[in-house]
Amino acid sequence: MDLQALKNKYDIIGNDPALNEALETAVKFAPTGLSVLIQGESGVGKENVARIIHQYSSRRQAPFFVVNCGALPRELVNSELFGHVRGSFTGAVENRKGYFEDADGGTLFLDEIAELPADSQALLLRVLQSGEYRKVGSNKVEHTDVRVVAATNVHLYEAVKRGKFREDLYFRLSAAQIRIPPLRERRSDIYLLFRKFTSDFSEVNGMCKISLKPDAIHLLEQYRWPGNVRQLMGFTQSLTAQVSRKVTPTLQRIELSARELEPYMPMEEGEPIPVLYDATASSTSGSFNADERQAIFKAIFDLKQEVDALKARLDRRELPAPAPEPQSEEAEWQAQEELLEEQHTLSVRRTEEELIRQALEKYEGNRKKAAEELGMSERTLYRKLPPEYRKK
């Protein structure tokens, strides 16, 4: 297999070993007929890998359907997947095919499979095991020959342990797994992708391409890109639109430094780790470099989160409260997740404020020096100042 030709065909950019392994595994699974589970965060390109599996299989001439399980109305999931007969529910004015009937002989890509309701999971398990299903409102057993490629952006086995996903369905799907690494784990590919996105956008709009100086590349690579390739593409297109100009005979390319790029870098509310970079490529004697500071920050944040979560559990045990109304298991999990998220956000903000406070005290209120110590811009520091420094 020519891996580079495969990447060119599906417009995949990058040379990271984990990415290459994922693509090679997809090609190996393709001709087997196995159901495949693709795991990876949103925006990493799971659908592309599913298409590769379909195109390298014996089903390549048959239909390939994409179903976003998270976008289906819960009350209509079974109808969308398996079809329904006329009169089976309000609004069912005629018989309707489902995806399993439409995709017969081909491949069905079920994205965000963890979002399927429990009853739909049971029906999916049956069709995977026997190829049998029933349309909503019908007693007639139908048969289909569909290969399922599923994808999820959550840790599916954790969902199993929490009772939100069937264990038997998980083991049925997970026999053949592919993990696509997030962008923060393939930092050497980030600038390659940036160059591709700015080049494509510039060519379409007749604008100069954007290139980056080494310190700007380092800044770009140090951001964690939670939205992965999708976020990087949107950022690159927006950046090009804002800083580029129309191509002229004397101007074909615009090069940015880290100082010029930094104002455009995305910022997240409650970002757990500050964006760190060494703009001077050197450190003063006795101070931490960017990587060391980032590791320290992360350790502090993680420890603080664990302590706060433990304290919250103890508080709930010690404080008497009236008996709550019965809740579904899903509602209980949702409430716990929301509570932990609130506690995490508060602990991150407190820790970040304390780090800024210490830096300002060290430099006697000099914001520029404090920002350099923390590896952030003065503008970012000003926005995150502790209350007692905001009027100074």
pLDDT in tens, 218-232: 999 999 999 999 999
Domain with residue 234: its CATH number is 1.10.8.60
Six-digit token string for 154: 């959550």
Q: State the SS3 of 281-346.
A: CCCCCCCCCHHHHHHHHHHHHHHHHHHHHHHHHHHHHHCCCCCCCCCCHHHHHHHHHHHHHHHHHH
Domain with residue 23: its CATH number is 3.40.50.300
Across 274-278, average pLDDT: 40
Same domain, 174 and 58: yes
Same domain, 287 and 304: yes
- Round to whole Å and give the CA distance between 316 and 341: 16
In a domain, 324, yes or no: no
- Round to whole Å and give the CA distance between 176 and 39: 11
Same domain, 175 and 133: yes
- Round to whole Å and give the CA distance between 41 and 180: 8
- Final residue of a domain: which of 137, 152, 181? 181
Across 233-237, average pLDDT: 96
pLDDT digits (tens, 9 = 90+) for 22-76: 999 999 999 998 999 999 999 999 999 999 999 999 999 999 999 999 999 888 8
- Round to whole Å and give the CA distance between 11 and 14: 10
Domains contained in the chain, number? 3
- Final residue of a domain: which of 201, 236, 264? 264
Q: Can you give the pTM of this predicted structure?
A: 0.66
Same domain, 299 and 383: yes
Q: Residue 100 half-sphere exposure, CB side, CA atoms within 13 Å?
A: 28
Q: How many CB atoms lie within 10 A of CB 83?
A: 23
Same domain, 202 and 280: no
- Final residue of a domain: which of 156, 181, 206? 181
Select the more confidently predicted residue: 111 or 342. Answer: 111
First to last CA, the chain: 64
Same domain, 177 and 190: no
The pLDDT, as a whole number, for residue 386 is: 76
In a domain, 325, yes or no: no
| Residue-number span of the structural domain to which 385 is assigned | 271-316+339-392
